[in-house]
C-alpha cells in the first residue's frame, strides 16, 4: 500500500511517498480504499509548517478524500464492503456543540489523513456520499463544503431573498455560492481575476467585484446593495480583509470568520461596526458528522456538483500543492488515488 507522509524540512515539511503494509480494521473500524483526495488551504500551511502544530513528522496529509469500504471490523453495523464513503474532518465530532478535545482528532494534522491508497477509521467518523457524485467530486466535500454549509445554513440560518458575500473563488467560497443560489439568495463574489468572476457569474453570481480594480471593494459591495450591505459574509481572508468585510455587513447580518489567507496576525481594524450593525461574528471550523450528512442530503436533493479546477495523478501530489500555492485555481484541486 502506498501513502504520503510529512517529513521535516527545517521548520516546514516535504511529502514522501512510501510503501506500507495495508491497514487492517479493528473492532468498530472501517477500512476504506481511497479513490480521490482534495486539497484545502489548511493542507498547504500544514506542509509549510505555519499552523503552529509541533512535530507532524510521519503524519499522512489531507483531510479530504472519498472511496469505497474494503473491509469492516467486528461490530460494525453502519457500513458494508462496497459502500461509497468519505470521512469527517474532525474524526470524533459526531453531533452537538464543538468541544476543544475535537482538535486532537483533525485529519491530516492531529491524526493521519487521506493521502493514501487505504485508510482505517472508526465507523462513527465515516459518512456515505451522495449517489450522484463520482469519487473525485465526493472527495471535495469534508472540509470546504461542510465549512460553507455550517457558516451559511447550520449556524447562519440562510433563507431565500437574503444576500451573501463570498470572498474569492476558492473551495469554501464556490461551495458558498452554490449553496446560496440553491436557497434563493443573491450572491456577490470578489476576485482579482475577471476570468474567475466570469466563471462565478456562470454559476449564478449576481454581483462581481474585482478587488484589484476596486481596492475599496467594500464601497462596491455597498453600491451593489443600495447602501444596505449583505446578510451573510464568508470571511476567508483574515486580518487584512476583516475590516472591509465588516464595512460590507448589513444590520443584523452574520459574518462567518473562516480563513487565514492573509495570515494569523491580529486584525488592525475596529470591531465597532459589529456593534453599530447589531451583527453576529461566528468562528467557523468545518463541522460535525451530522452537519456533513445534512449537507450531503442537500446536495443530492438539489443535484449540485462540486466545481473541480484541476485533477492530478497520485504521483503528482507535490504539483497539486504547488498549484494550490499559486492561487490560480477556481474551486477544488483533486488528486486521484
Between the alpha carbon of residue 322 and those of residues 19, 66, 195, the distances in Å are 23, 22, 21
Virtual CA dihedral for 157, 163, 168, 171, nearest 10 degrees?
A: 40
pLDDT band with cut points at 50, 70 and 90 for residue 55: confident
**In the numeric block, which cell numbers belong to residue 69?**
469500504
Tell me the per-residue pLDDT of 284-305, one tens digit each, with 9 for 90 and over: 999 999 999 999 999 999 999 9
- Supply the pTM of this predicted model: 0.96
Query: Whose CA is closest to 245, among 222, 212, 214?
Result: 222
pLDDT tens-digit readout, 241-254: 999 999 999 999 99
Distance (Å, whole) CA 335 – CA 320: 7
Which has more confidence, 265 or 257? 257
Which grid cell is 177? 455560492
Say if CB 160 and CB 186 are below 8 A apart.
Answer: no
Percent of the chain with pLDDT over 90: 92
Q: Which residues pair with 127 in a beta bridge?
A: 86
pLDDT of 263 above 70: no
Report the distance separating Cα 161 and Cα 44, nearest Å.
36
85-140: pLDDT as tens digits: 999 999 999 999 999 999 999 999 999 999 999 999 999 999 999 999 999 999 99
Q: How confident is the model at residue 261 (pLDDT cuts 50, 70, 90)?
A: low
Supply 170's cell numbers. Answer: 476558492
Q: What is the SS3 assignment for 7? A: strand
From residue 69, how far is each of 34, 53, 97, 238 by CA, in Å? Answer: 9, 31, 29, 38
Amino acid at each position: 500500500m502506498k501513502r504520503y507522509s510529512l517529513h521535516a524540512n527545517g521548520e516546514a515539511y516535504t511529502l514522501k511517498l512510501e510503501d506500507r503494509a495495508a491497514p487492517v480494521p479493528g473492532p468498530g473500524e472501517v477500512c476504506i480504499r481511497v479513490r480521490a483526495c482534495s486539497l484545502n488551504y489548511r493542507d498547504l500551511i500544514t506542509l509549510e509548517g505555519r499552523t503552529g502544530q509541533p512535530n507532524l513528522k510521519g503524519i499522512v496529509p489531507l483531510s479530504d478524500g472519498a472511496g469505497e469500504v474494503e473491509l469492516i471490523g467486528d461490530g460494525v453495523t453502519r457500513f458494508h464492503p462496497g459502500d461509497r464513503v468519505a470521512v469527517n474532518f474532525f474524526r470524533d465530532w459526531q453531533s452537538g456543540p464543538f468541544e476543544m478535545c475535537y482538535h486532537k482528532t483533525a485529519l491530516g494534522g492531529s491524526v493521519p489523513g487521506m493521502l493514501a491508497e487505504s485508510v482505517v477509521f472508526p465507523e462513527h467518523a465515516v459518512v456515505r456520499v451522495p449517489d450522484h457524485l463520482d469519487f473525485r467530486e465526493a472527495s471535495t466535500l469534508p472540509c470546504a463544503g461542510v465549512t460553507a454549509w455550517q457558516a451559511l445554513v447550520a449556524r447562519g440560518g440562510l433563507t431565500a431573498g437574503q444576500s451573501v458575500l463570498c470572498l474569492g473563488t476558492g473551495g469554501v467560497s464556490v461551495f458558498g455560492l452554490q449553496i446560496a443560489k440553491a436557497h434563493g439568495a443573491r450572491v456577490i463574489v470578489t476576485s482579482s481575476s475577471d476570468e474567475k468572476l466570469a466563471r462565478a457569474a456562470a454559476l449564478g453570481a449576481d454581483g462581481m467585484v474585482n478587488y484589484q480594480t476596486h481596492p475599496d471593494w467594500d464601497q462596491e459591495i455597498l453600491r451593489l446593495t443600495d447602501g444596505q450591505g449583505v446578510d451573510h459574509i464568508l470571511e476567508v481572508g483574515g486580518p487584512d480583509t476583516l475590516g472591509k468585510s465588516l464595512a460590507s455587513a448589513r444590520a443584523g447580518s452574520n459574518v462567518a470568520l473562516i480563513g487565514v489567507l492573509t495570515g494569523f496576525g491580529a486584525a488592525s481594524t475596529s470591531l465597532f461596526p459589529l456593534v453599530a450593525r447589531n451583527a453576529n461574528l461566528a468562528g467557523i471550523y468545518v463541522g460535525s458528522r451530522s452537519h456533513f450528512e445534512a449537507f450531503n442530503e442537500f446536495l443530492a436533493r438539489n443535484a449540485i456538483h462540486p466545481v473541480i479546477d484541476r485533477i492530478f495523478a497520485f504521483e503528482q501530489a507535490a504539483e497539486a500543492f504547488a498549484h494550490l500555492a499559486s492561487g490560480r485555481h477556481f474551486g477544488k484541486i483533486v488528486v486521484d488515488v
